[in-house]
Chains A and B, each alone.
Chain A
Amino acid sequence: MEKLTSAAQLESLRKEILQKRKSNQPCITICAGTGCLACGCEKVVDGFKKEIEKQKLQDRVTLRLTGCPGFCERGPLVVIFPKGIFYQQVTPEDITEILEKTIAKDEIVERLLYQDPKNKEKILIEDDVPFYKKQMRLLLGNNSKIDPCNIDDYLAVGGYAALSKALFKMKPGEIVAEVKKSGLRGRGGGGFPTGAKWESCRKAEGNPKYLICNADEGDPGAFMDRSLLEGNPHSVIEGMIIGAFAIGSHDGYIYVRNEYPLAVKNAATAIEQAEQYGFLGKNILGSGLDFEIKINRGGGSFVCGESSALFASIEGRIGEPRDKYIHATDKGLWDKPTTLNNVETWANVPLIINKGADWYSKIGTEGSKGTKIFSLVGKINNTGLVEVPMGITFREIIYEIGGGILKDRKFKAVQTGGPSGGCLSEKFLDLPIDFDALTEAGSMMGSGGMIVMDDRTCMVDVARYFLAFLEEESCGKCTPCREGLKKMKAILEAICGGRGKKGDIELLERLSQVLIDGAICGLGNTAPNPILTTIRYFRDEYEAHIDQKKCTGGVCKALIKYSIDPEKCTGCGACLKACAAEAVTGEQKKPHVIDPKKCIKCGACYEACKFDAVVVS
């Protein structure tokens, strides 16, 4: 492959690629993202390859391994284009049937279709699945269309057109102005206006200037950055090259978690291909711009996602934050002007350049533009990655996209923003979600984690859980975070253990303020959020724990008791079988009893009982 040296060469290559592709020919796309790999998609892929060869279909059908479309819980996912027929939970045994029916005769394999749990309707096309229908998949959309390891696929969907536009039709200052005008804000959690950051870095004195993509996604349960970098790495790289041109940088880094092996691999492949095609390296597309990207694998700690800790980690030092009274855009990596943006932020850039700031800024709310990818998990029917326009409400996400609460239980809280986000109560269900609204409510956008909780959740326990995570991940450099989190966790453990005392809530609030004002970095500053929001919206639960030694959620083991309602118990023996502690006794078809002395309060009997006879009190 000769390097492309002009915009015209890029367009003629694109034309050539598109001509070679027969748009009517069936294309079987299989998600090969981490989620589907875990579901066993490799066997499905192998099976398809063998079967296609066996049936000699090579010239009649294309097989493509794509990135993650987000509906991981239904994996392995197979979508058959051009129609977009959506098959879920596909196993190697289904392959022959898919080829014989769908590919050969255009018939549908009914049992592999997604069934709407609400009305039992079978859904044929991917876009019609309720999980996807309400989404606006500007960034994730291409994940299921392209093979991340094939740059031609990215070019076929219009890839690198934004780069060509930026290099040949815009001046660096105009690009910065366009990004500013778009209203794009940092998707890593802070929500800082991206355009303003670029402008400061562009104007900053000092050379060289560095440009970094932060892919150190560490929030438990969040995997949008992984999916983007795995599934569409070129969109991130294209964004970075445009940024480099705008800011005047020649050196870029992708700082990616080493725990994301596929993202590391796909990003490395994409960089190599982009170099071969002339999108990276010297004199990019003949424009005179030189820019290269190196991959730096993460140091393995949560706090390395924090900008100054990330710089330290790249520099080869311990990944610990420092005071950031001088901005990274002036003194960042190696004390040089640095622009650090999150994966999702970079992926938005080509979109803004291609379609214009005016188009982009029409999506979203007054203060937050564009879409945001959330990782929707918890006690909800449909879990996965959802990309939605800013301004959507929790109710729409939870009840329409997420299909409501599991087992139709009652909604209690939604936790946003990762471990240092906050828990919001039912009264926020109709809140239009954006950066400012979430911050005002005491939570935050964070990287986009969204955990839905039902009425069987104890909010004090939730706060304790998140605090334990943050204490574990605190680097320990500054006193408030190191010592404060330890003591706050101990107090929460005491409350959950029935040893809460009057004044604990006030003490927690006072210590929270010490962290908010005193800690060096964002980890410590935001760590009290889980406590403060649960106190703010669920204070009665704290009081019940402390004053009446009661856990209303039925979670805190020291405060609950399991028993069996003899009226409801049918004597089926399900609880007896489920109990590992041998605490349940009883004859068949007669009411069973739980021995409180033997009961370890694991809740297995509760889960096993089909008649709601096990009572938590």
Chain B
Amino acid sequence: MITFTLNGKKVEAENGATVLEVAREQGIDIPTLCHHEDLLPYGVCRVCVVEITKGKRKRVVASCTYPAEEGLVVDTNSERALNVRKGVTELLLARHPNVKVIKELAAKLGIAEPNPRFSVENDYCILCGMCVRACREIVGAHAINFAERGVTRRVSSPFSEAAGDCIACGTCVYICPTKIITMQDVADGGAVYPGGRDSLGPRRIIHTWKVNAEMVPCRVCKRPFTTQAKIEFMQKRAQVPVPIEELTICPTCKG
């Protein structure tokens, strides 16, 4: 255990805990955008910044990646930290004026509207990377990643084509804070064209990654509930033989 000062109060923390974790345990609210407790600390949105004093040196750090240290003095709302937090939010508001999480954060920090000196854009993806990280760290599929750099940075399937390694599990869809990744289950993913139609049966489509995956019905209720790619992926990942019956029963029927 280590002891340090958090907003003037002595607190104890486990070795290796981050400042953000300890602050949240203590009921101190530090806003975050790219942090998710099931993912590794990433430290890119810089909304969670706090000011620390170590010896004579003061500096602003990201609380989500900074490990709590013995004797550290942390101020979560110092003027310098707030300047960064507000500045970052102001910048994000100019780029994402219609994204709910950004609007809420801006309101919380007292920023009413985008700075008139900034050209306003209307992007939705806030580049928090939760989809990329969840796909990598939780699912292990590594189907998507960041592409390009700087102002053109974006999340993409490889070469912006259909994501070949995507198992259409939908984790990215659930975790995205801006709900910009869209997924749809369709009863028949076939195509209709002059003179005929192709029937492909039930499919799961993730538009964002150009994925169109075959769905598998539950062996009990017969409702399509998962994808063939996901079943294969789970069998491979389990490293021990998993009976196919275990994987082809939907959560409802499993009880």
Contacts and interface: CB of A to CB of B under 8 A. Distances in A.
Interface string B143-162: 00110111111000000000
A187 B148 CA distance: 30
A510 B87 contact: yes
A520 interface: yes
Nearest to B126: A479
Contacts, number: 109
A349 B120 CA distance: 52
B152 A487 contact: no
A491 B153 contact: no
A479 B47 CA distance: 9
B153 A480 contact: no
Interface stretch (B61-69, B193-201, B226-234, B240-248): B61-69
Looking at A318, A483, A520, the one whose CB has the most chain B CB atoms below 10 A away is: A483
B119 A490 contact: yes
A517 interface: yes
Contacts of A301: 149
Contacts of A491: 117
Contact of B88 (A326, A477, A479, A485): A479
B95 A478 contact: no
Interface string B53-66: 00000011110011
Interface string A479-521: 1101111110011000000000101100100110110011110
B46 A482 contact: no
B92 A479 contact: yes
Contact of A519 (B46, B81, B148): B46
B120 to A, nearest CB: 11
Interface residues of B, number: 36
Contacts of B127: 476, 479, 482
Contact of A479 (B44, B80, B81, B117): B44
A518 B66 contact: no
Interface in B150-181: 150-153
Contacts of A501: 117
Contacts of B60: 517-518
Interface stretch (A228-236, A255-263, A446-454, A467-475): A467-475
A200 B122 CA distance: 47
A517 B67 contact: no
B49 interface: yes
A477 to B, nearest CB: 5
Nearest to A517: B60
A477 B149 CA distance: 8
Task: Tell me the dominant secondary structure on chain B's binding face.
Answer: mixed
B13 to A, nearest CB: 15
B43 A482 contact: no
B91 A471 contact: no
Nearest to A326: B67
A517 B80 contact: yes
A213 to B, nearest CB: 25
A121 interface: no
B83 A480 contact: no
B91 A484 contact: yes
Contacts of B119: 487, 490
A513 B60 CA distance: 11
Contacts of A519: 46
A518 B84 contact: yes
Given A474-B149, A484-B87, A479 B94 contact: no
Contact of A518 (B49, B65, B95, B148): B49
B123 to A, nearest CB: 10
A486 B153 CA distance: 13
Contacts of B151: 471, 474, 476, 482, 485-486
B49 A504 contact: no
A501 to B, nearest CB: 7
A522 B153 CA distance: 19
List 10 A-B pairs, minimum CB-CB distance, nearest first: A476-B153, A514-B87, A483-B91, A518-B84, A517-B60, A323-B65, A474-B150, A476-B150, A518-B46, A323-B43
Interface of B: 43-47, 49, 59-62, 65-67, 80-81, 83-84, 87-88, 91-92, 94-95, 115, 117-119, 127, 145-146, 148-153
7 contacts: A323-B61, A325-B61, A326-B67, A479-B47, A480-B87, A503-B117, A518-B87
Interface of A: 301, 318, 322-323, 325-326, 471-480, 482-487, 490-491, 501, 503-504, 507, 510-511, 513-514, 517-520
